[in-house]
Structure 1
Amino acid sequence: MQLTPLIAVHMTAALAAVAIGPIALWARRGHASRQPHSQRPRLHRAAGYAWVTLMLITALSAIFIRDFNLPNIAGYTPIHLLVPIVLVSLFLAFWQLFRGNVSGHRKTMVTLYVGACLVAGAFTLLPARFLGQLVWGQWLGLI
């Protein structure tokens, strides 16, 4: 697999989402009972919308990336199961917010960040994957 423009867009959006996610989670809107200085609603909203946009770019671009070297169905590998999971989770998170379920929104977003960014990100570093070959092979010379 080569670094095509599509893979570059996908990888850039995913790496940016990994970086911006903690900012959105840290600057969460909080509750009225908390001290005012612990809330950063503008930062939370800006980082949150940026993160959601990056996750949409990552998920939608993944639809067009296929890998026939790993176990697959028509080029879609098991990691592609994250595409519908991300899309449904984002919808669910905003639906919960719309319904006033801030706790459910928070849990969904934290779970999505950990699962789609951290866990899936770790799997992309496996030696058989493109990014794994790039990091462990070309950059670090370990494989």
Structure 2
Amino acid sequence: MLILHIWASFLGLALGALVLLGRKGTRLHQLLGGMWVSLMAASALSSFWLGGGVLPLVGHFGPIHLLSLWMLVSLTLALIAISKGQIRGHQRWMQGAYFGLVGAFIGTLMPGRWVSTQLGIW
């Protein structure tokens, strides 16, 4: 699960930036956006099998898992919005999802987190 989580998360960081910065409503936007949603769902779902590490809240779940929940809620509401033609709502939820991912990434760089220790940051 760790490898799936890492790959989906890092690819999602890059692809999400491309989708957010690119032209909206095109076939390419829809294709890349669909890929991004799939990566983010895989990242969020796989995180529940990984330990929270720092500040466990319940069992092995930590604060970082709240961002996984945020991601799943944001993705769902963004897809519902676009299916109803609510473009502005879709944009807001997708932006919120992406910034949640950025927040989760920053969280992995905090002291005691696996990524920060592997990168030798702390």
With the length of structure 2 as denominator, give the TM-score of the two structures: 0.91
Please name the residue that 1:62 is paired with.
47
- Shift of residue 26, structure 1, vs aligned partner: 2.0
2:13 equivalent among 12, 15, 18: 18
- Structure 2 CA distance for aligned equivalents of residues 95 and 63 of structure 1: 24
Q: Does 1:126 pair with 2:121? A: no
Q: Does 1:75 pair with 2:60? A: yes
- Shift of residue 12, structure 1, vs aligned partner: 0.9
SS of residue paired to 2:112: coil
- Structure 1 CA distance for aligned equivalents of residues 73 and 96 of structure 2: 13
Identity of aligned pairs, percent? 34
Contact 1:93 1:105 in 2 (8 A): yes
SS of residue paired to 2:2: helix
Q: Does 1:87 pair with 2:72? A: yes
User: In terms of Rg, which structure is larger?
Assistant: 1
**Equivalent AA in structure 2 for residue 108 of structure 1:** W
Contact 2:108 2:114 in 1 (8 A): yes
- Structure 1 CA distance for aligned equivalents of residues 72 and 9 of structure 2: 14
- Structure 1 CA distance for aligned equivalents of residues 71 and 103 of structure 2: 13
Cα RMSD, aligned residues only: 1.4
Stretches of structure 1 that go unaligned for 5 or more consecutive residues are 1-5, 31-40
Contact 1:27 1:43 in 2 (8 A): no
Q: What is the aligned residue count?
A: 121
- Structure 2 CA distance for aligned equivalents of residues 63 and 102 of structure 1: 30
- Shift of residue 27, structure 1, vs aligned partner: 2.3
Which runs of 4 or more aligned residues in structure 1 lie more than 4 Å from their structure 2 counterparts after TM superposition?
Answer: none
- Structure 1 CA distance for aligned equivalents of residues 94 and 84 of structure 2: 15
Q: Within 5 A, what are the aligned runs for 1:18-57? A: 18-29=13-24, 41-57=26-42
- Structure 1 CA distance for aligned equivalents of residues 3 and 55 of structure 2: 22
- Shift of residue 88, structure 1, vs aligned partner: 1.3
Flag the 1:103–1:26 CA change in 2: closer, same or farther, 3 A. same
**Equivalent AA in structure 2 for residue 133 of structure 1:** T
